[in-house]
Amino acid sequence: MMKIKSYGSTQTNVNGKLVENKKYALRSDGKKAHIIGEDNGKGYFIKIDNVDELFDVVDKNNNNIPLIKKLKKDFKTKKKKKRKRKKTTGKKSKRRTKRKKRKKKIFKFY
């Protein structure tokens, strides 16, 4: 039997204001488990009588698919298309923005 104790918390702040606050604590003796948690002020308690059943459910969802295939399925990405630039021949193109003239500094300290 494996005894497990675990706890953790996470907070999300946006512009200095607390948006999300989550905490949990887990305790297991190998057969049974108790999970206590808090999600934005709302508390919950979960009691698991058979921890092995929990892992069986996770394994059934696994389906022996390699990790790379799972990641590709979950995070589909589009292939980037390369754009070809047309080469300009002949005249040199004009600048679209004007260059700024720098003012001469009289003193070195500013």
Containing structural domain, residue 12 = 4-74
Rg (CA), the chain: 30
Please give the tally of structural domains in the chain: 1
- Per-residue model confidence as pLDDT tens digits over 3-12: 889 999 999 9
Distance (Å, whole) CA 19 – CA 77: 30
Residue 36 inside a domain? The answer is yes
According to the model, what pLDDT value does residue 110 have?
Answer: 45
- Per-residue model confidence as pLDDT tens digits over 51-84: 877 667 666 666 677 888 878 888 877 777 777 7
- Per-residue model confidence as pLDDT tens digits over 81-96: 777 777 666 666 666 6
* Burial class, 38, CB count within 10 angstroms (exposed 0-12 / middle 13-18 / buried 19+): middle
Residue 24 inside a domain? The answer is yes
Residue 85 inside a domain? The answer is no
* This prediction's pTM: 0.47
Cα 21 to chain centroid distance, Å, stands at 16
Residue 101 inside a domain? The answer is no
Residue 83 inside a domain? The answer is no
